[in-house]
Amino acid sequence: MRIQTVLLSAVTSLAALGLGLAAKADTVPAHCDLYAPGEDYAYLSSNCTFSQRQGHIGIQLQSNGVSYELDPVPNAASGNFRDQHGQAVYRQSGLGNAGTIFQFVDGSHLWVYWDTNTSYGTGPVSQGTGGTRVATLVAHERGSQINLRSEATVRSRAIGYGLAGDQVNILECVQDRDTAGSSLNWCRVQFLVSGAIGWVRSDFIIFPTDGAL
């Protein structure tokens, strides 16, 4: 079972609307996960926006700026689309009222969740709570490594790395001070498998949906 399916709390109003958004272009916040063909862990998780006008769908990812423009295929079964490059895209079931899934011709999938919780990249600042919570690492680009750093800054040395799908215990989180006004945090984590401990920036972490540590 994909980890992300247990991280969601669907917003009631959006769940009721589903893909039947009003014909006059509606844009709603969502969460998007991208899966490579045959993979069980998303290689990219991002806040995103979903819009629909008369069956035409637009999806914009915030983490990398990638957008998808899906046009319904005339006289075809419901759920058949073409993207902006003319490639076939198929809408699939599987998320119920929590969201919708799109499959691309290469076998990759885009999962769109009607979830406005900011569980991606904005973990709580907390120090010395005494407890631990399990979170999951995500990458911004397929196959890229996620640096595990010695201190809570990009200017510290990398003492190891993780990959998308790795599970970690969150030991504590502190505010990101690399950039003035940053909304990110740094979290000290311990990998469940290797036991390695270090700091990972919060935009590479999917946190428990309740936001607590």
Domain 133-206 has CATH 2.40.50.140: no
Report the CATH architecture of 3-113.
Roll (2.30)
Burial 188-206 (b: 16+ CB within 10 A, else e): bbebeeeeebbbbbbbbbb
So where are the chain's domains? 3-113, 133-206
* Cβ atoms 188, 123 nearer than 8 A: no
Residue 123 three-state SS: coil
How buried is residue 44: exposed, middle or buried, by Cβ count under 10 Å (0-12/13-18/19+)? buried
pLDDT string in tens for the chain (213-residue length): 233 332 333 333 333 334 444 333 488 888 888 888 887 667 777 778 999 998 899 999 887 788 999 999 988 777 899 999 999 999 998 778 888 999 999 999 998 888 655 444 545 555 444 455 788 888 777 677 888 999 999 888 888 889 888 889 999 999 999 888 888 899 999 999 889 999 999 988 888 654 444
Q: Do domains 3-113 and 133-206 have the same CATH topology?
A: no
Phi/psi at 10 (nearest 5 deg)? -65, 140
β pairing state of 56-61 and 44-53: antiparallel
- Give the number of residues written for the chain: 213
Half-sphere exposure of 167 (CA within 13 A, CB side): 10
- How is residue 126 annotated by DSSP? B
